Amino acid sequence: MSRIVMKFGGTSVADLERIRNVARRVKKEVDAGNQVAVVVSAMAGTTDQLVGWVEEASPLHDAREYDTVVAAGEQITSGLLALTLQNMGIPARSWLGWQVPFKTDDVHGAARIKEIDTTNMRERLEENVVCVMAGFQGIADDNRITTLGRGGSDTSAVALAAALDADRCDIYTDVEGVFTTDPRIVPKARKLDKITYEEMLEMASLGAKVLQTRSVAMAMNHGVRVQVLSSFTDTPGTLVVDEDEIVEKQVVSGIAYANNEARITLVGVDNTPGIAGDVFSPLAEGNINVDMIIQNESEDGLKTDITFTVPQGDVEKASKILEDAGNVKFEKLISDNNVVKISVIGVGMRSHAGVAATMFQTLADKGINIQVIATSEIKISVLVDSEYTELAVRALHTAYGLDGE
């Protein structure tokens, strides 16, 4: 007997036929003798409609009311799934965030989980009742509904799995698992059987939209075994686990790309001590997330060029902040949206030399110019012109021996 948490996203519960499909998957786990808690998202499209209404009602909206309206989506699905399960003869009940209670701080719209009291739910699980929890929502100390931010249902599921000491947290989605890269670009991409938390974290934050980054970090912190799998096929998915569970480590596990960043270059900056701080402090205060950074000194050492990347939506705001900052003198500001960040990721990198050299050589062989480089322990990222996206990803996928049959 295991205790498992199963999470189903919006496309998996898009209509009643799909909810019945979900119920059949739940039934299989129940029939296998498992205790099952299920976390559901809103039916696909519902959240967008509710958010649209909120924005139309009040462009500058009160986040507490936003949460009240939007949380209704998951509320509906949780009740409908409980009913569908009951109709199949499986004891089930729904739990809204405030009923669990799933306690969060009061940062409405992007609340952080404080404490999940699973006393009542554990009792029901022991009675073999399937507990269907509305994802994405919680309750703050002021007794008002909070939401965890878009994609928060993954985080709800992992947090619930941790709180329930579940043996596994299965995240059902519309893809079959985590791939070595985007199969739409590289037909030879392979599904990974296992991936480490650290790798998944890099993959998630780099645009492989399989799992929400925050949920991966939480799974890593609490040691929750997460499985990503499809709710539409019966093939096994990808297990996200601790590094020591993976016997044969790949040097490189996957290639990720993110095309939602923009490059900003400040040309001819006065090269004075502390200039980097002068540039990046006001951006941080403006809540702009700066990612890759390089600084090139001019020959005489008097001027420097500073290049960095920001989310594309923040380019105008960042430019304005820098132009208004009195203590940053530069000749001109150049921004470019036509860039892509390509990353090779793998925990095996730690013990293998030459991974970076392979990347640079492969790109050079294809005539692709690298604009910025950034590295971490298990990742090397480069910024290149976005028109090379597919070419670069495919070449790297082959170079690191990731191509499947």
In the block, tokens 């910025």 appear at 372
Name which of 22 and 157 has its Cβ closer to a copy of itself.
22
286 Cβ neighbours under 8 A, 6+ residues apart: 317, 318, 321
Based on the number of CB atoms within 10 Å of its own CB, is 187 exposed (0-12), middle (13-18) or buried (19 or more)? exposed
Q: Is 102 annotated as a binding residue?
A: no
The pair phi, psi for residue 20, each rounded to 5°, is -65, -40
- Residue 8 assigned ligand-binding role: yes
Which residue in the set 14, 36, 38, 82 belongs to the binding site for a copy of itself (CB under 8 A)? 82
Site string for a copy of itself, 47-76 (x = CB under 8 A): ---x--xx-xxxxxxx-xxx-xx-xxx-xx
Q: Where are any strands of DSSP class E within 224-350?
A: 226-230, 238-241, 254-258, 261-270, 293-297, 303-311, 332-336, 339-345
Structural tokens at position 40: 């559901």
- Please state, in angstroms and rounded to a whole number, the distance separating the CA atoms of residues 33 and 207: 37
Q: Are 144 and 103 in contact (CB under 8 A)?
A: no
Residue 131 CB, nearest distance to a copy of itself (Å)? 13
* Least gap, CB of 37 to a copy of itself (angstroms): 16
Q: Does 370 bind a copy of itself (CB under 8 A)?
A: no
Rounded Cα distance between 201 and 221, Å, is 12
Q: Is 118 in the site for a copy of itself (CB under 8 A)?
A: no
Q: Is 74 annotated to bind ligand?
A: yes
Beta carbon of residue 165, minimum distance to a copy of itself (angstroms, whole number): 24
- Site string (274-293) toward a copy of itself, x via CB under 8 A: --------------------
Among 6, 38, 39, 80, binds a copy of itself (CB under 8 A): 80
Amino acid at site 214: R
| Closer residue to a copy of itself (CB): 144 or 188 | 144
Q: Residue 328: left (phi > 0), alpha (psi -120 to 50), or beta?
A: beta
- Residue 55 Cβ vs a copy of itself, minimum distance, rounded to whole Å: 9
d(C-alpha 362, C-alpha 31), whole Å: 51
Structure tokens at 22: 């979900």
Of 245, 240, 182, the residue nearest 212 (C-alpha): 240
Query: With binding defined as CB under 8 A, does residue 96 bind a copy of itself?
Result: yes
**Three-class secondary structure of residue 157 per DSSP:** helix
Q: How far is the CB of 166 from a copy of itself (least distance, A)?
A: 23
In the complex, minimum distance from the CB of residue 197 to a copy of itself, in angstroms, rounded to a whole number: 35
Number of residues that bind a copy of itself (CB under 8 A): 38
Reduced DSSP (H G I as helix, E B as strand, rest coil) percent helix, strand, coil of the chain, to 5:
40, 25, 35
Q: How far apart are CA 215 and CA 9, in angstroms?
A: 14
Binding mask 21-50 toward a copy of itself (x if CB under 8 A, else -) reads: -----------------------------x
184 is in an annotated binding site: yes
- All residues at 6 or more sequence positions from 294 whose CB lies less than 8 Å from its CB, including other chains: 306, 307, 308, 372, 373
Query: Is 10 in contact with 172 (CB distance < 8 Å)?
Result: no
Residue the block writes with tokens 């989506």 = 73
CB of 120 to a copy of itself, least distance (A): 9
341 marked as binding residue: no
Shortest Cβ distance from residue 73 to a copy of itself (Å)? 8
Residue 303 interacts with a copy of itself (CB under 8 A)?
no
- Toward a copy of itself, which CB reaches closer, 98 or 197? 98
Q: Which one, of 107, 253, 280, 98, lies nearest residue 181 by Cα?
A: 253
- Is residue 98 within the footprint of a copy of itself (CB under 8 A)? yes
Annotated binding-site residue? 177: no
Q: Which one of 81-89, 188-196, 301-309, 333-341 is the stretch in contact with a copy of itself (CB under 8 A)? A: 81-89
Q: Looking at 29-37, 84-92, 259-267, 325-333, which segment touches a copy of itself (CB under 8 A)?
A: 84-92
Cβ proximity to a copy of itself, 140 vs 246, nearer residue: 140
Q: Would the annotation count 286 as a binding residue?
A: no
Residue numbers of the site for a copy of itself (CB under 8 A)? 16, 19, 50, 53-54, 56-62, 64-66, 68-69, 71-73, 75-76, 78-80, 82-84, 86-87, 93-94, 96, 98-99, 143-145
Binding residues: 7-10, 47, 74, 173-174, 184, 209-210
Binding residues for substrate: 47, 74
Binding residues for ATP: 7-10, 173-174, 184, 209-210
